[in-house]
Amino acid sequence: MWFTVEETAIKLKASSPEPSEVRTLAIEATVRRVGEVLRGKEEVVRLALVGFLARGHLLLEDVPGVGKTTLARALARSVGGTFHRIQLTSDLLPADILGGQVVDRVSGELRFRRGPIFANVVLADELNRATPRTQSGLLEAMAERSISIDGVTHALPEPFLVIATQNPTEHHGVYPLPESQLDRFLLRTSIGYPEEEVERALLIGSGSSTEVEALRPTLTPESLIQLQAAVDEIKLSEDVAIYLQAIVRQTREAKELETGVSTRGLLAYAKAVRARAVTYGRSFATPDDVRALAVPVLAHRVVLRGARVVGRLEADALIEELCDQVSVPV
């Protein structure tokens, strides 16, 4: 069942604060709609929605040409929001992203010119090519959801999601994010290559011909904000909370790790778990939500002992191993 923008907005407005069938159908329609242009990647699309609903941000580590830009543009179209793409380079300055004061040619007065960070969905492409100063300016804006120029605070649009990308195979001319900056991202994942059948369909021209620009929204920014509010209403049972804590405690006690997940990381984990419950139309979180999000939420928040940088594959595998050592509540 598809919803137009108007139908979804009206039904969400009329629904109760508790997650409902209307919310579930709207989210499922969004997942399917984005899947029209990013075929076979439902879990990645759902993770992006989890980041949106939890008011977090998403880091995609992948090789070029697997659909990172397509995901960001399609998501913006599906939620009826604005989209900007920022190509990060070593000579890019914070003002090129955030904006700054310019002289009005007519009045001669200074006025604020918004940078490309002012959009509902922002794609920060090749984040590790930007200098640490530029990275810091972007990540601070992501965390504060506002910027301050000459003592004046400018709020960023709501809802607001940054999808940052970086190529994990390049090591020359890049500035890897330190652990303290990686922690600013709620989720880290990869898209990966398409399935063989999907790629073959693209080759022979029988795949989905739907262009991103042709996608019809299934949500509005206003209805997405209502869904974000619903995340805070999701209940964590004592068993689920204990399960969350146990997994995080494993990262702090593992001899393979120099640094485990912080308290801020634990709270982010819980927020993501609540958001995933909303995407499945539940008013409560389950152990499945906790387990499914362990790697994308926790792996980039730990430091492997003796490692100069956080290796994604090694960290992912270790988090999986640690989760297997924790008893799942019934």
CA separation for the pair 40, 194 (Å, rounded): 7
Largest CA distance in the chain: 69
Per 3-state DSSP, the chain is made up of helix, strand and coil in percentages (nearest 5) of 50, 15, 40
Which domain CATH number covers 264?
1.10.8.80
pLDDT score of 209: 46
| 206 in the same domain as 194 | yes
Q: At what angle do helices 312-324 and 287-298 cross, to 10 degrees?
A: 150
| 223 in the same domain as 288 | no
- Buried/exposed code over 79-108 (b: 16+ C-beta within 10 A; e: otherwise): bbbebbebebeeebebebbbbbeeeeeeee
Taking residue 280's Cβ as centre, other Cβ atoms within 10 Å add up to 15
pLDDT score of 112: 87
The total domain count for the chain is 2
Boundary (domain end) residue, out of 198, 230, 262: 230
306 secondary structure, DSSP code:
T
| 149 in the same domain as 251 | no
pLDDT score of 19: 46
pLDDT tens for the chain, 330 residues long, are 444 544 555 555 555 444 467 778 889 999 988 988 888 899 999 999 999 999 999 999 988 888 899 999 999 999 999 999 999 999 999 999 999 888 878 887 888 899 999 999 999 999 999 999 999 999 999 999 999 888 889 999 999 999 999 987 766 778 888 777 888 899 999 998 888 888 887 787 754 545 788 888 999 999 999 999 999 999 899 999 999 999 999 999 999 999 899 999 999 999 999 999 999 989 999 999 999 999 999 999 998 887 655 578 889 999 999 999 999 997
| 104 in the same domain as 52 | yes
Q: Is residue 285 domain-resident? A: yes
Q: Phi and psi at residue 45, in whole multiples of 5°?
A: -60, -45
Helix (H, G, I), strand (E, B) or coil at 59: strand
95 secondary structure, DSSP code:
H
Single-letter amino acid, residue 143: A
Q: Is residue 31 domain-resident? A: yes
CA separation for the pair 212, 215 (Å, rounded): 5
Boundary (domain end) residue, out of 230, 245, 280: 230
Domain encompassing residue 267: 234-325
pTM: 0.88
